[in-house]
Amino acid sequence: MASHQNPHFWRVVSAVRCMMDSSRSAQRAVIQFNCAEGEHASQIYRRMKEVYGEQCLARCTIFWWCQCYEAGRVNIKDLLRPGQAHVVTNSATISAVDELIRQNRRITTREIAVELSISKGTVQHIIHKKLGYGKVCAQWAPKQCQRIGRRREWVFA
């Protein structure tokens, strides 16, 4: 059997290609390969430290990944992590922000955030991306508004 037909050969080639890349996922692939070969975590760490130098994963991280792969994990990608659900930017919140701005055009994003118990970043996203408002002379105004003359009178489209 030719060496390029051997599945083990392609695993080695893949591991060597990954060794040229110092990204975390590439290093995890190297760890996974070496664990499959039966190499001990401390030896894997020593070899990876020689190859990657300062970009090498921490010793405890390599040991942790070895444990994962020995326990049967096959994926080198991070698992999904729970985070804040993106349900804050819904139609009710958007209309509440719009109503607060219409009541007081000089209201700040911080005041809106406190009033609605949402983050300032979410308020800014709603104001600029969803509602299309911008600050004009310290007042919120639709971005399509026009100024009349030299006085501070605005016509809203």
Domains and CATH numbers, the chain: 9-71 (1.10.10), 91-156 (1.10.10)
Indicate yes or no: pTM above 0.85. Answer: no
- Taking Cα atoms as reference points, which of 47, 11, 49 lies closest to residue 32? 11
| Tens-digit pLDDT profile for residues 63-110 | 999 999 999 888 888 777 776 655 568 889 999 999 999 999 899 999
| Tens-digit pLDDT profile for residues 27-42 | 999 999 999 999 999 9
pLDDT on residue 99: 94
pLDDT on residue 98: 93
Torsion sign (Cα): 111, 114, 117, 119: positive
pLDDT on residue 86: 58
- Could you tell me the CA-to-CA distances from 90 to 36, 83, 97, 99 in Å, in that order? 47, 17, 11, 14
Q: Which amino acid is at 42?
A: S
Q: What is the DSSP letter of 142?
A: E
